[in-house]
């Protein structure tokens, strides 16, 4: 089955729920209501031979309606073709059913989308943060999250261990200097403790990073 055949299969079973998206760089896709995503994914796996979910990611479209999307990129090893599925997720109800029961790899992908965008996946077996700590109140890949980060209470395990402080070490949580020879020197968070960081920034050999 090639990609056009897969789209035809979806249209035959789901009817008007399926809308083709513009082809981009040779990649075809469809959009569909979030209520039909599990049905569509199961159909593609069981009858379309799409045996791998290669990626699942959230998208924040900011001022559009619906604000969020979830993109599913599926691949067939047997037929060497891929297809993108797109569902819209409203800001006031950012929930969609989990497809982790169809492709196990969706487990961590959905956790990342939950962590970074605040999207929730009904039926996920263990929906908790995967990059930020439990209790972190923000979602760093939302468009309204500033590059320099937002203040938040750190987990007590980090505070008591002396491995972190309550403000970004230098330039925000997602900003690093460039033009230095190693990631250890380039990345402010590479310092394990505040004291180590303070020694590092007074090192004359590192003044170009300050």
153-166 per-position pLDDT tens digit = 777 666 666 555 55
Interstrand relation of 120-122 and 95-97 (parallel, antiparallel or unpaired): parallel
Picking from 34-48, 112-126, 177-191, which range would have the lowest pLDDT averaged per residue? Answer: 177-191
- The confidence band for 23, taking pLDDT boundaries of 50, 70 and 90, is confident
pLDDT at 151 over 90: no
118-150 per-position pLDDT tens digit = 999 999 999 999 999 888 899 999 999 988 778
- The confidence band for 35, taking pLDDT boundaries of 50, 70 and 90, is very high
pLDDT of residue 134: 84
CB atoms within 10 A of CB 54: 13
Given its phi and psi angles, is residue 106 left (phi above 0), alpha (psi -120 to 50 degrees) or beta?
A: alpha
Question: Please, how many CA atoms are within 13 Å of residue 4, restricted to the half-sphere of its CB?
Answer: 1
Secondary structure of the chain as H, E, C letters:
CCHHHHHHHHHHHHHHHCEEEEEECCEEEEECCHHHHHHHHHHHHHCCCCCEEEEEEEEECCCCCCCEEEEEEEEECCCCEEEEEEEEECCCCCEEECCCCCCCCHHHHHHHHHHHHCCEEECCCCCCCCCCCCCCCCCCCCCCCCCCCCCCCCCHHHHHHCCCCCCCCCCCCCCCCCCCCCHHHHCHHHCCCHHHHHHHHCCHHHHHHC
Spell out the domains of the chain, with CATH numbers in brackets: 3-122 (3.30.460.80), 156-209 (no CATH)
Cβ atoms of 208 and 179 closer than 8 Å: yes
């Amino acid at each position: 089955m090639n990609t056009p055949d897969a789209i035809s299969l979806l249209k035959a079973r789901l009817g008007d729920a399926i809308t083709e998206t513009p082809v981009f760089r040779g990649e075809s896709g469809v959009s569909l209501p979030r209520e039909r995503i599990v049905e569509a994914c199961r159909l593609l796996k069981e009858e379309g031979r799409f045996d791998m979910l290669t990626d699942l990611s959230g998208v924040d479209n900011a001022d559009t309606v619906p604000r969020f999307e979830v993109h599913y990129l599926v691949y067939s090893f047997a037929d060497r073709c891929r297809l993108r599925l797109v569902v819209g997720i409203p800001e006031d109800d950012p929930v969609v059913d989990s497809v982790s029961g169809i492709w196990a790899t969706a487990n961590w992908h959905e956790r990342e989308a939950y962590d970074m965008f605040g999207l929730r996946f009904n039926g996920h077996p263990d929906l908790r943060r995967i990059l930020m700590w439990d209790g972190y109140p923000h979602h760093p890949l939302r468009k309204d999250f500033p590059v320099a980060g937002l203040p938040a209470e750190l987990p007590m395990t980090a505070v008591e261990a002396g491995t972190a402080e309550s403000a970004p070490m230098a330039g925000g949580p997602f900003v690093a200097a460039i033009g230095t020879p190693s990631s250890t020197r380039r990345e402010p968070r590479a310092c394990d403790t505040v004291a180590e960081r303070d020694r590092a920034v007074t090192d004359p050999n590192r003044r170009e990073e300050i």
